[in-house]
Amino acid sequence: MWGAIFGDILIVLILWKAACSLISSVSFDLPGLKGYTVLLVISFLASIFLEWAAIYLNLWEYTAEMPTLNIFNHQVGLSPILQITFLPALSIYFAERFYGEQKV
């Protein structure tokens, strides 16, 4: 479980750094709509790649109950895609809101 937690933290930080690298005007404190949009797009693409890699490496498999998407003739789980897509943006949003209240 700890490996998954630290893996998710690492994924969030890598994706945020990638978004900041692509758009030099995006600051860590106030990403704005453009920053969040880039982060969501990068996160979505990363989620597909990470799911394909995990399935290929036999790290896990989906049960019949797992809703899946068929992307380029490969099945990927819907909940992992949603998690990896939205977790970085939500993490940054809530961290900024909490930290922003503490700055006063």
Residue 71: strand pairing partners: 74
Q: How many CB atoms lie within 10 A of CB 5?
A: 9
What domain range includes position 95?
A: 2-102
- Predicted structure pTM score: 0.78
Distance CA 68, CA 85 (A): 15
- pLDDT category, 41, cuts 50, 70, 90? very high
The number of domains in the chain is 1
CA–CA–CA angle 25, 89, 70 (5° rounding): 115
pLDDT, tens digit, for every residue of 48-77?
998 888 888 988 888 889 999 888 888 888
Residue 4 has pLDDT above 80, yes or no: no
DSSP characters over 36-83: HHHHHHHHHHHHHHHHHHHHHTTS----TTS-EEEETTEEEEHHHHHH
What percent of the chain is modeled with pLDDT above 70?
A: 88
Residue 16 has pLDDT above 90, yes or no: no
